[in-house]
Structure 1
Amino acid sequence: MAPFHLFFLLSCAAALIFPSFSRSLEPSFTSKPSRSLAAAPPSPKPGPIQTNGKNFSKVCDPARFKELNLVIDDFAYCDKSLPYEVRVKDLVGRMTLTEKVAQLGDKADGVQRIGLPKYYWWSEALHGIATTGFGTHFGDIVPGATSFPTPILTAASFNESLWKTVAQAISTEGRAMYNLGHSGLTFWSPNINVVRDPRWGRALETPGEDPFMIGVYAINFVRGLQDVEQTAAQQDLTSRPLKVSGCCKHFAAYDLEKWFFEDRHKFDARVTEQDMVETFMRPFEVCVKEGDVSSVMCSFNKINGIPACADTNLMTRTFRDEYKLNGYIVSDCDSLDVIYHVMNWLGDTQEDAIGLDLNCGWGQYNIYQHWGESAVAQGKVRETDIDRALTNLYMVLMRTGFFDNIPAYENLGLADICNKENIELATEAARQGIVLLKNNNTLPLDPKKIKLAALVGPHANATAPMIGNYNGIPCRYTSPLDAIGKDVKVDYQQGCDVLCMNETAFAPAIASAKNADVTIILAGLSLDVEAEERDRMDLLLPGDQTDFINQVAAASKGPVVLVILSGGAVDITFAEINPKIGAIIWAGYPGEEGGQAIADVIFGRYNPAGKLPLTWYKNDYVDALPMTSMQLRPVDEFGYPGRTYKFFNGTVLYPFGYGLSYTVFNYSAINTTTSSLTLEVNTAEFCKPLSYMTKFTAPPCPSLNIADYKCSEEINFEVEVTNTGNMDGYHTALVYSKPPPEVANGPMKQLVAFQRVFVPAKQSAKLNFTVNACKALALVEKTAYIVFPAGKHTIVVGDGPELVSFPVEVKLQI
């Protein structure tokens, strides 16, 4: 019996004896949906900072200092003529040690005697301003904010400009809420962890499984949050202003919540350096180096025996020295207390856990605020280390305008939250991400030909499930029932909920399908099944949903459309092969306007163009390897098939990048300026070994160490995309590179570029691509060197039969 199968059986037996238990380290914030903000009455602007009952929009307001019986001219940190570093040094230098450590928690106490107010660091903006965190609250003045689709669906658009535009809208609403006293300026978003395993409960929060794509998403989302117009290219990053501060999380190798006896608070991710460099670290490197993110968050888990938040090699060498992080590092909430109480790592005391810039944790769990002075007294931490942490923190707050405000955003207010433009953007983001998985000439539907539509299933009248987690209170909800009911007469019968444990409730939905001209089934997952601290045990629909869908489809008089709401992959092979189910749509968790976006796709007002950012495996995947296996490449001795589209060597239901359209697109290669590259290598020291297939003789210089060679060579090519159908539509061309076939253990292919283009029916569009040769063709060797291999590479545009490809031969001469 394979090791995993034995482990699986033992775990199942043990699970029956010992009930599972997990404590959530993040508090639960729940609120009821509000009415539309469009009708909200005007309210006074309270400002973010209260002093003696009065509201101020910035720390360094002379009137505010007067309220404190202080003279602002006595405080150099409020002198705008001085550089930020000088001002921050003055601020930190005025504090006692007791006052310093009181600022190192997510609820910073402030120091009234020197004019420094309290500040709550923790706000979230994953897909809209969220209720999660102590820095943000809704109610009275701000009853809600725009709830965009969760990242997994927005990512499916493969549209860089959309990603940035959504983040810009979110940051505008966040800045407006700050002005109204309802939010901070530091948002711990986005989540850029790679989805290594389809069972992970937080897949909905991420851009998917491909590290290149996630990196591009991170750059655009962070730039959308942070960039102030006309200052984005400012060279002095220490003073470049921030619209709001973003945070790339959770570093690193984190994608396990709770699986049998493993949970994120104890899990030790045993990762090779090759996988770290190639997959788990790559989005973070890009986020810092190209996105200039101003914060990163470390994760709960251990990495090769060391808790991520205690690994000075990662935190200092990687982020500070190598990536040049210009900002602060924060712990995942209560992760430092987990190191002490749960992991009991190295028998450390609370004082030993101090080492980051900021500790997210409350009450006794805030290690820094409770034990910081003791750590200094015991000689375990230098006070200069605390000064450095405070400098990193207050430099970021200086850049956000916390002390001086930023004039361009001073007048943002209620009119900038939940406005018409943002609500339409939320709808458009959902439209662009929706993926058409199957269509046997069923869609689009013509509402004029439908007298009655049966609308059934767990999500047929979904509201809160559409917005997923790390959500705020939406401006409003447009459910599928709301939207589809505007187009056709609807008979709504839910039939079963997401957990679907009562088959006797199917009857009304089945009866509705028998009488309707068309049946639309909305099914899938919810936070009851996949969420933080909740991994899945399989890839199937919960409970009796499969039986429900099959019974409804069998009874249906007219065509059947199945819409799946989920973050992670679902094995719906039964629906793919069922001839009665004519079309399948994946709608992720589509946000507050998800119902409208779904209706627009179903009735043909929008031609779907989304592509899956995750591989959809069949359910036998979960029996093939344990969730605790971190290797990306196949492990033959255990029978592990590999992970993600780059390495999985089995059969899938729908591959990464899959997505249909109501029209047909074809490719043709027009021009490639580079079919071969010859690089003169000045010294053999730049050459590195490369793993080859058996019996292949390596050339004198098998590969080039990219770190040693400033590669400026480019690969230029042009592709024509032709819409041969009868409907206008968008299309995304995905570009992959394939390594030379003689290279061993390389990815089967890897994404290196993508472009989205609108092509009218019966017309063509040209796409021009320019990629850096070293980056596009690079591999990470098992030594963890990033190398540029010699040999015949292949560039591939597209997937399936319509793809075009061409070789690029690389010659390295010493």
Structure 2
Amino acid sequence: MMMRFLCVFVIGILPVLGLSQSTYSFNNSELPIEERVQDLVDRLTVEEKVSLLISTAKAIPRLDIEKYYHGNEALHGVVKGGRFTVFPQAIALSATWNPDLIYKVSTAISDEARAKWNFYNQGKDQKNVYSDMLTFWSPTINMARDPRWGRTPETYGEDPYLTSQIGLSFVKGLQGNDDKYLKVVSTPKHFVANNQEENRFGYNAKISERALREYYFPAYKTLIQEGNAQSIMSAYNAINGVPSTANNWLLNTVLRDEWGFKGYVVSDCGAPTYIEKSHHFVTDKEQAGKAALEAGLDLECGDDIYAKHLLPAYKAGLVSIESIDKAVSRVLRARFKLGVFDPETNNPFTKISPEVIGSKEHQDLALETSRQSIVLLKNERNILPLKSNAITKLAVVGFNANQVVFGDYSGLPVISPISPLQGIIDKVGDKVEVNYVKWKTAARNLNPIEAENLRNDFNDEPGLFAEYFDDKFLEGTPKTRVDKEVNFDPVNQPPDPYTSYRHKSIRWTGHITPNASGAYKIGVNSDDGIRLWLNNELVVDEWHNRGATTDQVPIYMEAGKKYAIKLEYFDNGGDAICQLLWEVPGSTDDLYKEDREAAKNSDYVIAVMGINKTIEKEGKDRTSLQLPEDQVNYLKEMYAINKNMIVVLVAGSSLAINWMDANIPAIVDAWYPGEAGGTAIADVLFGDYNPAGRLPFTFYKSITDLPPMDDYEITNGRTYMYFKGDVLYPFGYGLSYTKFEYSGMKIEKENDVLMLSATIKNIGEFDGDEVVQLYYKIKESTVIRPLKKLIGFKRVSLTKGESKTIQFKVSKKDLRFWNEHNKEWTFEKGKYTFMIGASSKDIRIQKTEKL
């Protein structure tokens, strides 16, 4: 009897000791995943199930389930969790027109993510801090239908086929190629037609089903059916009156029933709240939870509707346990596929070493990707490539000359990133004198307060006393040092142990001592919160989350006197910057004197212009396509002095650079080129790399060429497919230092498949790449059809004098349109013209076939 009691006692305490977990079926890696998922779901209470439907899912200790954060970003490198390789921004990836290269890029990104997860898995505390290294809300495959859209740089451009092919490679590279395990989860976003930032939480996109099927849907369908994407993010907006996050037709009928999607749907952050708050689709938050769950939303990014109101909705009988079980099963299935419930020895991705993060191989890949993305827009007089042995002096000037601009959703680089200026200096060495002049503008004539004008109370050395806290509350024991200047900009600076945490707060104290008497302006450029005291008076109090903002305060100061200053700053994650600036009396009298001298005394002027996240970003659409006026005026002034001018554009979307195109002899579009961008730019300018990037969208001449922003019907003159006017640069456009000849186009038919071929020959003086593009159009149709439509492309490398035959396979399925009357895809008999060329406008050869 005593022995029986002891056996029962021991068995009873095993769960408490955590020893019985291995006996749970869901921990048996030999069982099918569906059986394991069901076993775990059956063991959960309804409260636990609901807790798993929130992106920051809490731990369930009794089942030894750790907390799990869904939601890092990886548009062009891992964003959160440390320092990683920073590749060119997404739009630049698309400008390579090279899916094979993009597969390598996303493979490197997910290798680094897994490597960081593996590293943190060695210590429970570290892993709890960074538990979001396996689920990524990338890529962004919304269509860049209008260049004013602030998130255009995150996309792959205006064409659904190009977006599908680049996105497909990206998803495949992220998720890995193991038959059983996922390397990471990829989440294409935002489903669907999330294409404007004004009223982004509440707008209703009115779109025909044909436009959805032909333009807005294809990339998602491809990434699900061919890429096996394991997650999809729903959008803030409504489609034809129904919020995307509560849209049964989108999330169940199309996504799951038609396309066979087996993964889970996560909301854009806070989107379930807007079902009731902004769209007024329901009357309360419990009803919002019901609408979202029944429509097929599985996971909430946020802590409102599912976190607080789904359980009450269940208890009130509004939602069923079956609906909850279905959602939690979908979410858990992805975690099982990641292998988080399995022994590490089973999973091949647990063997990826942290040594890959920022490795030489990945740095080289970032450089090659940047090179392949750069588009040569103009090269009059063959001014490019430059020959350094024929140059004595070179002026490098402009808004972005000494900036490293990564674009939105960017991480911190492992290495010191290379600016265009640095790339040029590294390229020419001591053979050429480089005259660099800092950018100044009447629009904001604020410059950094230099060390000679700053003192601290601890050692009276130049600079301010700095206290770095590892939280955003100025609490705990800080690391301290003297900063020569206040220029906290971790993205654009070398790795710094004082800035290793994403969430940080900093306090600088000391004195300002001006060299001259007069009326000054003290400015602080910051992203997130600041407080500024001058002479012990609080003059700026902006202690809250916000985007990049410059605050200015006027103050009269006398030469040689000390003026006390205290500046406090916190970073809430994401973008991080805090810079202490001033405007000195008389500094606006002649802004460009130094620039004019540099231009006058140089053989060539390289002006690095463009825009940045202050103009285009999430939450902010552009109101103009023009380059900022101060930059255009500056270029005109410099060009009047030196006609040998090359403009390098650093931007994430198209610009109406009409004056520049008419006057400047050479223009290069470098996008937001990543950590090695400066080196890539210099390689192109000096001929060590022959540019072959191609535009993934149209450059329009004027904003008046565009339909209203809220017009989602693509047939109303949008994109190269339906716009009939003159453009500045067409979709698919890009020049080379060499020339290519197209010939020998053939079409062979076999049942419903066409095999098209053409021969491409390099007839120029340089080795180079050509992006061969295939378009089609139908002569007559019962509906409005595209002027031409991309259905194939290949990037091919050709040495001087070399030729290659390129083949394309086209099915009749590729030539169909969506018949709204019959609700089906329809192929029309008729005369189809197939066009092969170097851009959507530069068609070199074509043939017409009756099909």
Do these two structures clear the TM 0.5 threshold for a shared fold by scoring above it?
A: yes
Name whichever of 242-251 and 765-774 sits farther off: 765-774
Query: Identity of paired residues, percent?
Result: 35
| SS of 1:803 mapped into structure 2 | strand
CA distance in 1, matches of 2:264, 2:443: 42
The aligned runs of 1:711-722 (5 Å cut-off) are 713-722=752-761
**CA drift at 1:428:** 0.6
Tell me what 1:696 maps to: none
The aligned runs of 1:53-64 (5 Å cut-off) are none
CA distance in 2, matches of 1:789, 1:497: 57
Tell me what 2:517 maps to: none
Structure 2 residue 158 is matched with structure 1 residue 120: no
Q: Which of 717, 721, 731 pairs up with 2:770?
A: 731
Tell me what 2:592 maps to: 506
**Does structure 2 conserve the Cα–Cα contact (< 8 Å) formed by 1:173 and 1:417?**
yes
The aligned runs of 1:281-296 (5 Å cut-off) are 281-296=217-232
> For the structure 1 residues 744 and 373, does the alpha-carbon distance in structure 2 shift closer, same or farther, using more than 3 Å as the test?
closer
Structure 2 residue 141 is matched with structure 1 residue 192: yes
Paired letter, 2:204: D
Q: Which of 325, 338, 348 pairs up with 1:400?
A: 338
Q: Which of 570, 582, 592 pairs up with 2:655?
A: 570
Tell me what 2:84 maps to: 145
Paired letter, 2:419: S
CA distance in 1, matches of 2:171, 2:259: 16
How many equivalent residue pairs? 671
> For the structure 1 residues 468 and 68, does the alpha-carbon distance in structure 2 shift closer, same or farther, using more than 3 Å as the test?
farther
Residue deviations 1:154-190 (CA, integer Å, cap 9, x gap):
1111111011111111110011011122442111110
> For the structure 1 residues 554 and 738, does the alpha-carbon distance in structure 2 shift closer, same or farther, using more than 3 Å as the test?
same
Tell me what 2:438 maps to: 494
| SS of 1:125 mapped into structure 2 | coil
Tell me what 1:52 maps to: none
CA distance in 1, matches of 2:267, 2:635: 44
| SS of 1:541 mapped into structure 2 | coil
Tell me what 2:581 maps to: none
Q: Which of 441, 457, 460 pairs up with 2:398?
A: 457
Structure 2 residue 808 is matched with structure 1 residue 769: yes
Structure 2 residue 588 is matched with structure 1 residue 549: no
Name whichever of 786-795 and 174-183 sits farther off: 174-183
Paired letter, 2:744: A
Tell me what 2:31 maps to: 82
**CA drift at 1:432:** 0.4
Name whichever of 243-252 and 338-347 sits farther off: 338-347
**CA drift at 1:670:** 4.2
Tell me what 2:684 maps to: 601
**CA drift at 1:627:** 0.6
Q: Which of 745, 760, 768 pairs up with 2:784?
A: 745
**Does structure 2 conserve the Cα–Cα contact (< 8 Å) formed by 1:500 and 1:543?**
no
CA distance in 1, matches of 2:608, 2:36: 56
The aligned runs of 1:380-399 (5 Å cut-off) are 380-399=318-337
**CA drift at 1:600:** 0.5
CA distance in 2, matches of 1:288, 1:806: 34
**CA drift at 1:275:** 0.5
CA distance in 2, matches of 1:772, 1:286: 16
**Does structure 2 conserve the Cα–Cα contact (< 8 Å) formed by 1:319 and 1:325?**
yes
**CA drift at 1:413:** 2.8
Cα RMSD, aligned residues only: 1.9
**CA drift at 1:802:** 5.4
| SS of 1:93 mapped into structure 2 | helix
CA distance in 1, matches of 2:683, 2:318: 61
**CA drift at 1:549:** 1.3
Residue deviations 1:643-680 (CA, integer Å, cap 9, x gap):
00001111110010010000111101243223xx8xxx
> For the structure 1 residues 128 and 499, does the alpha-carbon distance in structure 2 shift closer, same or farther, using more than 3 Å as the test?
farther
> For the structure 1 residues 302 and 349, does the alpha-carbon distance in structure 2 shift closer, same or farther, using more than 3 Å as the test?
same
| SS of 1:667 mapped into structure 2 | strand
> For the structure 1 residues 185 and 546, does the alpha-carbon distance in structure 2 shift closer, same or farther, using more than 3 Å as the test?
same
CA distance in 1, matches of 2:445, 2:661: 23
**CA drift at 1:495:** 2.8
Paired letter, 1:570: L
Tell me what 2:816 maps to: 778
> For the structure 1 residues 506 and 383, does the alpha-carbon distance in structure 2 shift closer, same or farther, using more than 3 Å as the test?
farther
| SS of 1:673 mapped into structure 2 | strand
Q: Which of 726, 734, 757 pairs up with 2:796?
A: 757
Structure 2 residue 389 is matched with structure 1 residue 348: no
Tell me what 1:705 maps to: none
**CA drift at 1:773:** 2.7
Tell me what 2:315 maps to: 377
**Does structure 1 conserve the Cα–Cα contact (< 8 Å) formed by 2:288 and 2:305?**
no
**Does structure 2 conserve the Cα–Cα contact (< 8 Å) formed by 1:724 and 1:761?**
yes
Paired letter, 1:807: T
Q: Which of 741, 747, 750 pairs up with 1:666?
A: 741
**Does structure 2 conserve the Cα–Cα contact (< 8 Å) formed by 1:294 and 1:396?**
yes
CA distance in 1, matches of 2:713, 2:18: 61
Residue deviations 1:382-408 (CA, integer Å, cap 9, x gap):
111111111111111111111114532
Tell me what 1:165 maps to: 104
> For the structure 1 residues 375 and 726, does the alpha-carbon distance in structure 2 shift closer, same or farther, using more than 3 Å as the test?
same
Q: Which of 298, 305, 309 pairs up with 1:367?
A: 305
Tell me what 1:803 maps to: 844
> For the structure 1 residues 372 and 430, does the alpha-carbon distance in structure 2 shift closer, same or farther, using more than 3 Å as the test?
same
> For the structure 1 residues 511 and 213, does the alpha-carbon distance in structure 2 shift closer, same or farther, using more than 3 Å as the test?
same
Residue deviations 1:584-616 (CA, integer Å, cap 9, x gap):
001111111111110110000000001100100
| SS of 2:592 mapped into structure 1 | helix
Tell me what 2:490 maps to: none
CA distance in 2, matches of 1:67, 1:643: 63
The TM-score with structure 2 as length reference comes to 0.77
- Post-superposition, which runs of at least 4 consecutive aligned residues in structure 1 deviate over 6 A? 497-503
CA distance in 2, matches of 1:393, 1:802: 47
Residue deviations 1:498-531 (CA, integer Å, cap 9, x gap):
9767974333222211111110001111000000
CA distance in 2, matches of 1:320, 1:448: 62
Higher share of residues assigned strand: 2
Structure 2 residue 461 is matched with structure 1 residue 423: no
Residue deviations 1:549-601 (CA, integer Å, cap 9, x gap):
11112112x611001111111000101101xx210001111111111110110
| SS of 1:346 mapped into structure 2 | coil
Paired letter, 2:193: A
> For the structure 1 residues 113 and 735, does the alpha-carbon distance in structure 2 shift closer, same or farther, using more than 3 Å as the test?
same
Paired letter, 2:318: K
Tell me what 2:710 maps to: 628
Paired letter, 2:387: D
**Does structure 2 conserve the Cα–Cα contact (< 8 Å) formed by 1:501 and 1:544?**
no
Tell me what 2:551 maps to: none
Paired letter, 1:410: T
Residue deviations 1:270-301 (CA, integer Å, cap 9, x gap):
11111011101111111111111000001001
Tell me what 2:117 maps to: 178
Paired letter, 2:205: A
| SS of 2:665 mapped into structure 1 | strand
> For the structure 1 residues 731 and 498, does the alpha-carbon distance in structure 2 shift closer, same or farther, using more than 3 Å as the test?
farther
CA distance in 2, matches of 1:519, 1:753: 39
| SS of 2:787 mapped into structure 1 | coil
Name whichever of 540-549 and 593-602 sits farther off: 540-549
Q: Which of 173, 179, 184 pairs up with 1:244?
A: 184
Tell me what 1:154 maps to: 93
Tell me what 1:257 maps to: 197
CA distance in 2, matches of 1:717, 1:767: 8
CA distance in 1, matches of 2:15, 2:347: 22
Q: Which of 677, 690, 699 pairs up with 1:616?
A: 699
Paired letter, 1:129: V
> For the structure 1 residues 216 and 413, does the alpha-carbon distance in structure 2 shift closer, same or farther, using more than 3 Å as the test?
same
CA distance in 1, matches of 2:834, 2:287: 53
CA distance in 1, matches of 2:99, 2:843: 24
CA distance in 2, matches of 1:577, 1:731: 25
